[in-house]
Amino acid sequence: MMQLGATHPHGHVRTCTRRTAAADDGAVGTLIRPITLSTREITFRREMLGWVGAVHFVLEPLGDDQTEALFAGLRCTDTVRLRGGAVVPSPQFLVAPPGFFAPNYQISLDEHFAESLDLVVPDDAALLAIVTHRNPIGRSTVNLFSPIVVNRHSGLADQYVPASSEAETGWSVRTPLPLALVADDT
Amino acid sequence: MLTLTREPGQKIVVGDDIVITVVSVSENGRVRLGIEAPRQIRIDREEVLERIQNENIEAGAGGTASRWAAYAARRANRQASAGATSPSVGDPGQSRDAAQRPKRLESLAAPR
C-alpha cells in the first residue's frame, strides 16, 4: 500500500501515517499546494471511466491567484464518445488537489496500482479531484472517493477506484464543496 | 449468460488463472465471494464503477471548467467591487489584492 495525502494537525487521522513536517508547523498552504507536474501532458493508462477513447489530456491552469491557481482544467485532446455513442470533442474537467477540500485527505493506493504508474515514493504522485458543476452552484460536488492519480514526472495517470466502498473509506464521489467557495453566488 | 449452481466452499474456474470461491451465503441472501486473479485483472463492484462513470460524464459534459471559470470571475468581481478581501478557503488569513482582480477576469471568463 502507498499512502497519499497528508494528516492535518487538528484533523482526524483516518489511517496510520507519518506526520509531515508541513503538518507539524501548521503550514496548511503547503498541504494544499497547487498541482505541480513536470509535464502538462497527461496520458491515462486506460480510457477515463465513462468516456470512450479519452486517453490524452492537457492540464491548463485556470487562474493565477492563490485559490484559483489550485484549480486547473483537464482537457481531453482526443475525440471521445459517450457510451451511448454521442461524440464529444475535447471534454474538459475541472480538477483541484483533494487536500484543498479536506485538509486531512488521505488515500491508500494498492501496490499494483502504484506500480502501474511507476510510483516509487508518495511524492511521485499528484492527486487531482474532479469537480462537478451544478446549478445552483451550491449543489456542485467534488469526487474525493476516486481521484485521478498522476505520475508527476511522466504524466502517466489513472483514476483510482478503491476496492472498499464510499462508506468504508469515508470519502464520497459527491462531496459538497466548502461553503466559503460557493455560498456567495446568486 | 452461463448460470451455475454452487454451494459454499465450491469454486468456479474462469480461464487459466481466475478462481471464484463461494465463501458463504447468509440467511438474508448475501453472498460472499472470494476471487483469485492475476493482479493486472481489475475487480470492481459494478455499482461503484457506474457511480464514478456517471459522475465523470456529468463533470465533463456539463462544461464544468468553463462554467466554473465564469463563476470565479463573477465572484472575484463582486469581491473587488465591494472592496472586500474576505479570505476564502485556501488562503487563510491572507488578504487579496483587490486592485488586480478586474484585470484578469476577462481571461478567466473567456470561453475555451
Which pLDDT band, with edges at 50, 70 and 90, does B111 fall under? Answer: very low
pLDDT digit string (tens) for A145-155? 999 999 999 99
> Does the beta carbon of A123 lie under 8 angstroms from any beta carbon of chain B?
no
Q: List Cα–Cα distances, B28 to A26, B25, B32, B87, in angstroms.
A: 49, 8, 12, 52
The strand order across the sheet containing B31-36 reads: B11-14, B18-25, B31-36
How confident is the prediction for chain A on average, in pLDDT?
80
Least confident of A95-104, B10-19, B83-92: B83-92
Which pLDDT band, with edges at 50, 70 and 90, does A15 fall under? Answer: very low
Which residues of chain A are within 8 Å of residue B53 when distances are taken between CB atoms?
Answer: 49-50, 83
> Does the beta carbon of A174 lie under 8 angstroms from any beta carbon of chain B?
yes
More confidently predicted of A163 and A184: A163
pLDDT digit string (tens) for B46-79? 999 999 999 999 999 876 777 777 777 777 667 6
How close does chain A come to B79, measured CA to CA in Å?
A: 10
More confidently predicted of A171 and B74: A171
Q: What per-residue confidence (pLDDT) applies to B101? A: 35
Q: CB-CB: which of A67, A73, A76 is closest to B88?
A: A67
Q: Give me the mean pLDDT over the A105-113 stretch.
A: 90
Q: Give me the mean pLDDT over the B83-106 stretch.
A: 41
Question: Which residues, listed in sequence order, are joined to residue A125 by a DSSP beta bridge?
Answer: A151
Q: CB-CB: which of B42, B56, B78 is closest to A184?
A: B78
Go through the domains of chain A in sequence order and give each one's CATH number.
Answer: 2-182 (2.30.290.10)
DSSP element (H, E) containing B109: helix B101-109
Contact B53 A145 (CB under 8 A): no
Question: What's the distance, CA A100 to chain centroid?
Answer: 10
Query: Closest Cα partner for B36 from B53, B16, B50?
Result: B16
**Residues within 8 A of B (CB atoms), A 81-110 only:** 82-83, 88, 91-94, 100
Phi/psi for A101 (5° steps) reads: -90, -25
**Residues within 8 A of B (CB atoms), A 148-167 only:** 159, 161, 163, 165-166
The one-character DSSP state at A78 is S
The answer to whether residue B100 scores a pLDDT higher than 60 is no
ipTM confidence score: 0.82
Q: What per-residue confidence (pLDDT) applies to A76? A: 94
Q: What per-residue confidence (pLDDT) applies to A62? A: 74
Asked if residues A75 and B96 have their Cβ atoms less than 8 Å apart, the reply is no
Q: CB-CB: which of A74, A83, A180 is closest to B88?
A: A180
How close does chain B come to A66, measured CA to CA in Å?
A: 6
pTM: 0.75
d(CA B112, CA B99): 25
Q: Where are the domains of chain B?
A: 1-39, 65-86+93-112
The answer to whether residue A7 scores a pLDDT higher than 50 is no
Q: What per-residue confidence (pLDDT) applies to A16? A: 31
Q: What per-residue confidence (pLDDT) applies to A80? A: 92
